[in-house]
Structure 1
Amino acid sequence: MTQHIEIEFKNIITKAQYEGLLQAFSIQPEQIIRQVNHYFDTSGNHLKELQCALRIREIGETIECTLKEKTSEHQHLETTDFITREQADQMLAGKSILLPAVNERLALFDIPMNTLHCYGTLTTDRVEIPYEGGLLVFDHSFYLHCDDYEVEYETNDEKIGKKIFSTFLVNHSIEPQPAQKKIVRFMMALNNQKG
Structure 2
Amino acid sequence: MTTNLEIEYKTLLSLDEYDRLKKYFSHVTPIRQTNHYMDSHDLIMRSNRLALRIRTFDNDAEMTLKVPQTIGNIEHNAALTLEEAHGMLEAKKINDNLPQISDILSILKERGIDYGKITVLGSLTTIRQEMETDIGLMALDKNTYFDACDYELELEVQDSVKGKKDFKKFLIDKNVEFRYAKSKVVRFLKMLDNKTKN
TM-score, with length taken from structure 1: 0.93
Alignment of 1:69 with 2:35, yes or no, is no
Unaligned runs of at least 5 residues, structure 2: none
Unaligned runs of at least 5 residues, structure 1: none
Q: 3-state SS of the aligned residue for 2:53?
A: strand
The more displaced of 79-88 and 147-156 is 79-88
Distance 1:111 1:90, change over 3 A: farther
Q: Does the 8 A contact of 2:56 with 2:82 survive in 1? A: no
Query: How much identity, in percent, do the aligned residues show?
Result: 33
Alignment of 1:189 with 2:181, yes or no, is no
The more displaced of 83-92 and 35-44 is 83-92
Structure 1 residue 176: deviation in Å? 1.5
Q: 3-state SS of the aligned residue for 1:175?
A: coil
Q: Size of the alignment, in residue pairs?
A: 192
Distance in 1 (CA, whole Å) between partners of 2:173 and 2:50 is 33
* Corresponding residue for residue 143 of structure 1: 145
Paired residues for 1:41-190 under 5 Å: 41-72=39-70, 75-92=72-89, 93=91, 94-97=93-96, 98=98, 99-190=101-192
* Corresponding residue for residue 6 of structure 2: 6
RMSD of aligned alpha carbons: 1.4
Q: 3-state SS of the aligned residue for 1:142?
A: strand
Structure 1 residue 55: deviation in Å? 0.3
Structure 1 residue 53: deviation in Å? 0.6
After TM superposition, where is structure 1 displaced by more than 3 Å over at least 4 residues in a row? none
Structure 1 residue 26: deviation in Å? 4.8
* Corresponding residue for residue 38 of structure 1: 36
Q: 3-state SS of the aligned residue for 2:69?
A: strand
TM-score, with length taken from structure 2: 0.92
Q: 3-state SS of the aligned residue for 1:31?
A: coil
